[in-house]
Amino acid sequence: MGGGPTIASYTSIGTPNTAAETWTHRAMMDPSDDKTLPGPSESARVRDVTLATLDGGGGGVVVGGRYLVHERIASSGMATIHLGTSTGAEGFMRVVAVKRLLPELCTDPEMVAMFIDEARIGAAVRHTNVVATIDLVRDRTDVSLVMEHVDGASLLALLRAGQLRGERVPRGIAVAVVVDLLRGLHAAHTAVNAFGVPLEIVHRDVSPSNVLVGADGTTRVIDFGIAAARGRLHETRAHETGVKGKLVYLAPEQILGERADARTDVYAAGVVLWELVTGERLFHGENDLAIAAKILAGEIAMPSTLHTALAPFDEVLRHAVAKERDDRFPNALEMARAVERCGVSASRDDVAAWLEHLLVDAASVTDAHDTHGRSMRASRDEARAKDAAAHFRSALRTLVERSLAAREQAEGLASDAASVASRL
């Protein structure tokens, strides 16, 4: 496929996807990352002005007239992610996640188009195993994406926590997580627009950092920032921008600069499954070129060569990570059904308990790794996990406390306005 990108053209190899940690407020943020609402009032304008006055006082800023944006909880190369709340009549309040395009990019038409594409693609996919896109807010100085808030952690964070404890992912958990992932991907692949026209969505960046495991035991797909889809406002051209995604999860056709399809995501999901059940990385190499060469060679060691007990996964992975697309599962749903036949899937309660087990007591893990002389970086990661979990719990309490204060302030302003008006 002449004209394909060289390995040197990769723009995100080795760069953790910090945006993928956006919806996890409990623990284990990627180490490289660097409420109260007013009650009903006579005037929506009074309400909005009241909320805006909270800015600078720890309350946050208002976007879209009804979303109160609080402190930043994560960031990526083009956006910051915040804990937020949405407001409604009669004191209605809902916790959300607000992804805000960086101010310096809000005047860049290309960046804005990419952000809008992410919102439109996400909104078109409505499924239990996909984080819901709620709203897109735009004005002259701000572009924000409002999404479902999910209490949980990325699969990447959970794998790191397990590594620090010296624990592998239980087989039933691996099956449950990957089946949910595949069902979410299938929903994206088969999504249609309002007229029933297939959108042909391909995620193109399936990896542990873009898989969110919720405290409810449900796994969800997140971040359609570089997804391919029919009708995008901005078309990503590989030869200009470099292949997007994380190298070790790229399918051969992505490295060659060929068009991605649903089977491209199937391949990446297969790599995730391989790593979950074996506890090891599938592709290793001295540099990116060496890793890419192994991916293109298509020589994959089956799990049973590492652990004989993993033989049930061999046949699934033989198809999932096949070099040629035609040799893979035709769609993500078929792969999900095959994975379910590999063994007993953990229940939602089991998955939730696994997450809680890994994240509930980060301090004890920190002490353990210090005792055994583990790296300082791992120590910092665990400390940050503990701080993140405590911060989130505190933030939720603060939201409720602010709600009462903001309501009283709104009512006071409305009363003052009425008093002034009566004198005119």
Residues tagged active-site: 205
Q: Which two tokens stand for residue 273?
A: 């499954």
The answer to whether 329 touches 338, Cβ cutoff 8 Å, is yes
75 phi and psi, to 5 degrees? Answer: -155, 160
Residue 20: name the closest of 113, 97, 135, 111 by CA. 97
How many other CB atoms sit within 10 Å of the CB of residue 386? 18
The pair of structure tokens assigned to 290 is 């060496």
Number of Cα atoms under 13 Å in the Cβ half of residue 339 = 32
Contacts of 97 (CB under 8 A, 6+ apart): 22, 23, 73, 81, 82, 83, 84, 146, 147, 148, 149, 150
How far is 70 from 318, CA to CA, in rounded Å? Answer: 46
Tokens for 20, please give them: 């993928």
393 Cβ contact partners less than 8 Å away, ≥ 6 residues apart: none
The arrangement of strands across the sheet holding 211-214 comes to 152-154, 211-214, 219-221
